[in-house]
Structure 1
Amino acid sequence: MTVVQLTPASSAPRRQLGRIHVPNVTMAHGGGGKAMRDLIDDVFVAAFDNPALSTMEDQARFRLAELTAHGDRLAMTTDSYVIHPIRFPGGDIGKLAVCGTINDLAVGGARPLYLSCAVIIEEGLDVDTLREIAGSMARTAAAAGVSIVTGDTKVVDRGACDKLFINTTGIGVIREGIELGVGRVRPDDVIMVNGLLGDHGAAILNARGDMALSTPLESDCAALHGLIGTLLAAAPGTRFLRDATRGGIATVLNEIAEASQVGILIHEERTPLRDEVRGFCEILGLDPLYLANEGKIVCAVPPDQAEAALAAMRNHPLGRDSAIIGHATDGRPGRVVMHTVFGGRRIVDMLVGEQLPRIC
């Protein structure tokens, strides 16, 4: 992965970073004084170190030529992360924040370049945990070739948030010729996913410990822009991409059907699921189509490019289990239908609220 070299629009002499000498975050660390500066320096500036951040202005500054060198349109997204627990098998809230925002840019065809990081910290959170999360964000961003260039820190009273909330905003650039959108899907377009579904949602539910299950489940949290670049090179006519996070692939498919006014037909036996996730859902009465993913995309590709797209994704580490799960149709516009393993059909609707375990 190519790392973007920042050229800040202004520079300042390198300064000595402050250090924090207490084990837990206090309200003083959100008060705007030396304690706050020491926390920011010790935890965040030290972890995210780059020329745009080190100036410590109220905004990151970079030259417009640096952006236009990558494309002709700017892409911007923002998201907030409030996950419980903040550490889970396969990742943590920091990795999730970086990957989630990168993916929201990448599914629009953008090359992710810069991220912001705003944190809301609960009073009493231990500083080592905060350092661990910041380090996770830094490693994930560096591996993706993305820089975290600005941010904000707030501390709230005990009980006002659950340990740590993170907001990340991302900026990327879309090169000329890439046109992706939820309203662009046409009948006969092929619907595919890049691997096993529902891992993240199942891993988080299991990590909360309410069911005390011993099944080993791990989140699929990953930055997908490399995979998406590979896909677009192999299938430049790709019409639509979306990461299937909250609401799972069922929600994404319904969004396609409604916006493009096509029907979507998928096949249960072609939908890739881990046996552990399938069993987990059976125990809890959940439908895996609605489980969250953090490393999976839904793609709509013209039929003449589908095989090339599938082969390209399967050759990428994050797409080895890619599968064609269905296609768009000109019948029943706005409706998603699944062919079941029993030979019947069922409507896959959009959830009104949260899934609930079956109680009867």
Structure 2
Amino acid sequence: MNFPPTNSIQNPLFQKIEKVRRRQSKVQDTHITLAHGSGGKAMRDLIDDIFVGNFDNPILSQLEDQASFNLAPLLQQGDRLAFTTDSYVVDPLFFPGSDIGELAVNGTVNDLAVSGAKPLYLTCSVILEEGLPVETLRRVANSMKAAAEKAGVQIVTGDTKVVHRGAADKLFINTAGIGIIPRGISISAHNIKPGDAVIINGEIGNHGTAILISRGELALETNIESDCQPLHSLVETILEVCPQIHAMRDATRGGLATVLNEFALSSDVGIRLYEESIAVREEVNGVCEILGLDPLYLANEGKLVVVAPKENADKILVAMKLHPAGKDACIIGEVIPSPPGIVLLKTVFGTERIVDMLVGDQLPRIC
């Protein structure tokens, strides 16, 4: 019997030994150094220990320069591909209720989900500052692993770069995501029509407030936590009862007000909000009053805005309330024919004011 050479990369035994050897690689340093971005053994140990060790799956374990997967199973789930990318530079890295790792996974999953897509695959690229504690990076990777498992997605490829001390702020993450849109689903801001109902799945402003307080720049104490959560399952629930959703978007940077302004401009319609229907925690209102902020513009990381035909609004609301991520869902407004491109807020005093789009963000680096 002829055996392949023991050093042949085609030898299954050799491949198995190599995989075991690779997984035994451990980062020896306590802090990130420039060597961890050099492409040598230090970098390989970092990738094997921190990333491959956490994200391991059949696609990632190939350790190629790209992820490849069969198209046939994907085509069985839908007829269109949803593709998104995002970067995360939140400060601080860890904040009440979440951290940059969970935020990166959930943020990308949600960007796919609001198109109606089933999220499947993510990429993860990190930019590390020289001097970052390795244990901090390990905590972030562990968090990403848990978030990916919860969302049912796989992190299949990535990249690691290290920059000189002072050239970045500890850790930045870039992600991209791929999902499949089922046949018959067509969600777009251009679909919005007068008479549509505007629905949100809960109270606003918690994420932005949690980040602000955690920075320690204000002598304020609250128990507010970020609302960071994956929304794909809630979206599936909504589409089960109403596949004819006109528009859907997660209200992240710029908050509820920015999303609705984008909707109004895209479909050349007006939107009227009802202040009494918009849930805002007392602590969030208190922080906003002290600092002169408006909760309508505060960032969220677990809130989606749904615009749907009015006749379907009640059954959508019932379905959302039965889901953990939508238990506080509420109809907060309606689409009106005019003034086009304008969002109006009917206040609790019965007056109306324009809710315009801000030139900049009230709070930088919140995601």
**Is this a same-fold pair by TM over 0.5?**
yes
Matched, 1:286 2:293: yes
Structure 1 residue 237: Cα displacement: 1.4
Partner of 1:119: 126
Alignment of 1:173-188 (within 5 A): 173-188=180-195
Q: Does 1:98 align with 2:105?
A: yes
TM, length-normalised to structure 1: 0.95
Which residue of the partner structure matches residue 200 of structure 1?
Answer: 207
Match of 1:5 in 2: none
Q: Which structure: larger Rg?
A: 2
Aligned residue identity for 1:158: R
Residue 43 in structure 1 maps to residue 39 in structure 2:
no
Partner of 1:160: 167
The Cα shift of 1:355 comes to 2.5
Q: Deviations along 1:163-187, whole A, 9 cap, x unmatched?
A: 0000000000001000000111000
Deviation (angstroms), 1:278:
1.1
Q: Which runs of 5+ in 1 are unaligned?
A: 1-10
Aligned residue in 2 for 1:60: 67
The aligned residue for residue 146 of structure 2 is 139
Which residue identity is paired with 1:46? Answer: G
Answer yes or no: is 1:268 the counterpart of 2:269: no
Q: Which residue pairs with 2:6 in the alignment?
A: none
Amino acid aligned to 2:261: N
Question: SS of 1:264's equivalent?
Answer: strand
1:249 corresponds to which of 240, 244, 256: 256
Match of 1:8 in 2: none
Equivalents in 1 of 2:81, 2:127: separation in Å? Answer: 28
Verify: 1:319 aligned to 2:314, yes or no: no
TM-aligned CA deviation for residue 283 of structure 1: 1.1
Q: Contact 2:253 / 2:361 at 8 angstroms: preserved in 1? A: no
CA drift of 1:236 comes to 1.6
Matching residue within 322, 331, 340 for 1:333: 340
Paired AA for residue 231 in structure 1: I
| Alpha-carbon distance between aligned partners in 1 of 2:47 and 2:274, rounded to the nearest angstrom | 50
Cα distance, 1:116 vs structure 2: 0.3
Distance 1:188 1:100 in 2: 30
Query: For residues 324 and 249 of structure 1, what CA distance do their matches in structure 2 show?
Result: 13
Q: CA RMSD in A?
A: 1.1
* Counterpart secondary structure, 1:327: strand
Deviates most, 274-283 or 300-309: 274-283
Counterpart AA for 1:135? N
Task: Give the paired residue count.
Answer: 346
SS in 2 for 1:318: helix
One-letter code of the match for 2:303? K
Tell me, in whole angstroms, the C-alpha distance in 2 between the residues paired with 1:243 and 1:326: 16
In structure 2, runs of 5+ residues without a counterpart are 1-11
How far off its partner does 1:280 sit?
1.2
Q: Match of 1:6?
A: none
| Alignment partner of 2:244 out of 229, 237, 246 | 237
What displacement does 1:61 show? 1.1
Q: Could you state the TM-score of these two structures normalised by the residue count of structure 2?
A: 0.93
Aligned partner of 1:72 among 62, 79, 82: 79
- 2:5 is aligned to none
**Aligned twin of 2:33:** 26
* Cα offset, 1:66, TM superposition: 2.2
Q: 2-side partners of 1:294 and 1:154: how far apart?
A: 27
Q: Which amino acid is 2:256 matched to?
A: I
Contact 2:269 2:335 (C-alpha < 8 Å) held by counterparts: yes
Partner of 1:259: 266
- 1:348 alignment partner AA: V
